[in-house]
Amino acid sequence: AQTVTQSQPEMSVQEAETVTLSCTYDTSESDYYLFWYKQPPSRQMILVIRQEAYKQQNATENRFSVNFQKAAKSFSLKISDSQLGDAAMYFCAYGLAGAQKLVFGQGTRLTINP
Amino acid sequence: DGGITQSPKYLFRKEGQNVTLSCEQNLNHDAMYWYRQDPGQGLRLIYYSQIVNDFQKGDIAEGYSVSREKKESFPLTVTSAQKNPTAFYLCASSQQDYSNQPQHFGDGTRLSIL
């Protein structure tokens, strides 16, 4: 079974600085997708960024980028120029192509210090 | 605006009682999902449905039931057989091939035991 591990239960960063959240996953498959979701205090889950495993190029969305290392099964999220609104729980998720469910990590709580 | 509506926001259950959580979407999505979130943990899949009148068990389906009579609606019933129902419940939807399309989430329902 696929598993997703986020080894950092909590992280903090100064406003305007850069922070990297770690995620590793375990799979024997080659065709899959990886996601980072953000859950602010309002509790609604919001998609931050998505990566297709067959693409070598790392996905980028404005201040958010990933470092996807397929061989190492690592999918870290980098947040540049951190803002107070970035404070949230961040979940890494894995989805096997053609399957119908996502596997989520346990989350990392990110605090932004003003 | 298109989106997912979950109701109620807070729900209390008495011992031996069944309760139903509502989830409605107007995104015209084929697939819908129910997740359970416990403190400090990621999301765990309860049930999912790919099309009307069809649904599949997720990882923790025991003590729960669902129906999918309409494309836009996917209610979840927490039965008295679920001995530890206190949690935050999230409903989500996506296009048929969810792994290629992100899941959209509702605002959640917090269920507590009286």
Q: Which tens digit of pLDDT belongs to each residue from A59-90?
A: 999 999 999 999 999 999 999 999 999 999 99
Cβ contacts of residue B87 below 8 Å, gap of 6+? B36, B37, B38, B110, B111
Which residues have a Cβ under 8 Å from the Cβ of A99 and sit 6 or more positions away?
B99
Record: contact B41-A107, CB cut-off 8 A? yes
Provide the pLDDT confidence category of residue A99 given band limits of 50, 70 and 90.
confident
Name chain A contacts of B108, Cβ cutoff 8 Å.
Answer: 43-44
* Model confidence pLDDT, tens digit, residues B62-94: 999 999 999 999 999 999 888 899 999 999 998
Tell me what the mean pLDDT of segment B10-33 comes to. Answer: 92
A9 contact B CB<8A:
yes
Q: Tell me if B45 and A102 make a contact (CB, 8 A cut-off).
A: yes
Confidence band of B99 (pLDDT split at 50, 70, 90) = low
Are residues A70 and A57 in contact, defined by beta-carbon separation less than 8 angstroms? no
Cβ of B105 within 8 Å of Cβ of A45? The answer is yes
**Cβ contact A44–B106 (<8 Å):** yes
Average pLDDT over every residue of B94-106: 76
From chain B residues 11-40, the ones with a CB under 8 A of any chain A CB are: 31, 33, 40
Measured between alpha carbons, how far is B37 from B55 in angstroms, rounded to an integer? 20
Note whether A30 contacts B: Cβ–Cβ < 8 A. no
Of the candidates B53, B67, B63, B51, the residue with the CA atom closest to the CA atom of residue A100? B51
Q: Which residues in A lie closer than 8 A to residue B106 (C-beta atoms)?
A: 44
Instruction: Confirm or reject contact between A41 and chain B (CB < 8 A).
Output: no
pLDDT of B4 reads 94
CA distance A67 to A23: 10
List Cβ neighbours of B68 (8 Å cut-off, separation of 6 or more).
B32, B49, B51, B52, B53, B54, B55, B74
In angstroms, rounded to a whole number, what is the distance separating the alpha carbons of residues A12 and A111?
A: 5
Residue of A nearest to B5 (CA): A44
CA distance B7 to B22: 5
Residue B100: band (very low, low, confident or very high) from pLDDT cuts 50, 70, 90: low
